[in-house]
């Protein structure tokens, strides 16, 4: 759900920093709920950003 919201923000504002901010918040929230290590959280965030950026190219 967080990713869908991030894409909506991207489309509304066309601002990459806003998109990254929403992705980061979504990933970190999920990591907190699942009690993932910070290392995994960073890796997941990087993958998520790369996938979304690729979609927009």
pLDDT tens profile 27-57: 666 656 555 444 545 555 555 554 444 444 3
Q: Pick the closest to residue 41 from 51, 31, 52 (CA basis).
A: 31
Instruction: Give the per-residue pLDDT at 55.
Output: 44
d(CA 31, CA 25): 10
pTM of the model: 0.27
Instruction: Give the per-residue pLDDT at 12.
Output: 59
Contact between 20 and 2 under an 8 Å Cβ cutoff? The reply is no
């Amino acid at each position: 759900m967080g990713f869908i919201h991030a894409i909506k923000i991207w489309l509304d504002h066309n601002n990459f920093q806003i998109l990254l901010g929403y992705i980061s918040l979504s990933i970190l929230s999920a990591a907190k709920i699942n009690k993932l290590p910070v290392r995994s959280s960073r890796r997941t965030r990087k993958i998520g950003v790369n996938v979304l950026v690729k979609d927009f190219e």
